[in-house]
Amino acid sequence: MTRSFTGLVTFPVVLSITSWSVKISIRLGAMISICLLSSCSPNESNTQSESVTLIQHDIADLMHIVIEPAAEKIWDSAGYILTIEGETNLAPTNDDEWMEVIHASAVLIESGNLLQTPGRRIEEPDWDELSQALSHAADVAKVAALEQDADALFKAGGTIYNVCRACHQQYWKDEPQRPSESL
């Protein structure tokens, strides 16, 4: 494609961008611009002070379906198993396994937020503190996984375990039960 300005100069217009980081930056900039522009226009959803949250699962379901599998992934990826036959290191051994831990950590980070959702949140002072502690400990695990630091992941897994235990001792008085199979 060429452009000419009143016949003075003709030059090619280069339309391809080769750097993926530039492409991402342009796309990200466009998305941010759209978001900012849409937030400036008055509409009914922006004038509402409360949002509607649809709660599909109670806390027990959230624990068993979302939190427990993510925590188990972290715990199963840290430490050692010692047997008479020898020692087995549980740390991830390749990038895909580390990525699974990163994903599990992200699930736990957001689960701390889910536990504070209106309709699910327990109105006790330490509920929010424990929920935030879960998110923080999971964030430490995520950083450890990003750095592929098995020792730091082991320590973060221990912190996650301690947060879970503290919460369960305070709030889980009944015998733990699995959600129904119909979910």
Q: What is the CATH classification number for the domain harbouring 121?
A: 1.20.120.10
30 domain residue, yes or no: yes
- Higher pLDDT, residue 148 or 29: 148
117 close to 66: Cβ distance less than 8 angstroms: no
Q: Are residues 78 and 19 in the same domain?
A: no
Q: Are residues 103 and 162 in the same domain?
A: yes
Crossing angle for the helix pair 68-75 and 95-114, nearest 10 degrees? 140
Q: Are residues 67 and 156 in the same domain?
A: yes
167 domain residue, yes or no: yes
Q: Are residues 67 and 148 in the same domain?
A: yes
Q: Are residues 72 and 14 in the same domain?
A: no
- Higher pLDDT, residue 145 or 37: 145
When pLDDT is cut at 50, 70 and 90, the band that residue 10 belongs to is very low
Residue 40, pLDDT > 60, answer: no
Lowest mean pLDDT among 16-20, 29-33, 71-75: 16-20
- Higher pLDDT, residue 108 or 3: 108
65 domain residue, yes or no: yes
- Higher pLDDT, residue 121 or 41: 121
Q: Are residues 25 and 70 in the same domain?
A: no
The pLDDT of residue 51 is 60
141 domain residue, yes or no: yes
Across 26-76, the runs of DSSP E, i.e. the strands, are: none
> Amino acid letter at 136?
H
What is the number of structural domains in the chain? Answer: 2
Q: How many CB atoms lie within 10 A of CB 88?
A: 10
When pLDDT is averaged across residues 27-53 and rounded to a whole number, the result is 49
Q: Are residues 96 and 157 in the same domain?
A: yes
When pLDDT is averaged across residues 93-116 and rounded to a whole number, the result is 96
* Domain limits for position 106: 59-171
When pLDDT is averaged across residues 164-183 and rounded to a whole number, the result is 70
Q: How many CB atoms lie within 10 A of CB 67?
A: 21
50 domain residue, yes or no: no
**Mean per-residue pLDDT over the chain, rounded:** 78
- Higher pLDDT, residue 54 or 128: 128
The pLDDT of residue 120 is 85
Q: Are residues 88 and 136 in the same domain?
A: yes
